[in-house]
Amino acid sequence: MGPTGKVTLIFTDIQSSTLLWQLHSEKMRVALRAHNDILRAVMVKYNGYEVKTIGDAFMIAFAEPMDAVNYAMQIQVDLMSQSWEDPFNMATEVTMTRVAEESGKAPALSLWNGLRVRVGVHSGTPLSETDCVTRRTDYFGPMVNLSARVQGAALGGQTLISDEVRNNIALGKLDIPCTCLLYTSD
Residue 12 identity:
T
First to last CA, the chain: 28
CA distance 39 to 75: 6
CA distance 4 to 64: 11
| 154-186 tens-digit pLDDT | 988 889 999 999 888 877 677 766 545 555 555
| 64-100 tens-digit pLDDT | 999 999 999 999 999 988 988 766 664 554 444 444 5
- Length of the chain (residues): 186
Count CA within 13 A, CB hemisphere, residue 3.
Answer: 21
Cβ 73 vs Cβ 176: under 8 Å: yes
Average pLDDT over residues 14-28: 88
Please tell me the predicted confidence (pLDDT) of residue 94: 44
Instruction: Band the pLDDT of 47: cuts 50, 70, 90.
Output: very high
Calculate the average pLDDT of the chain.
85
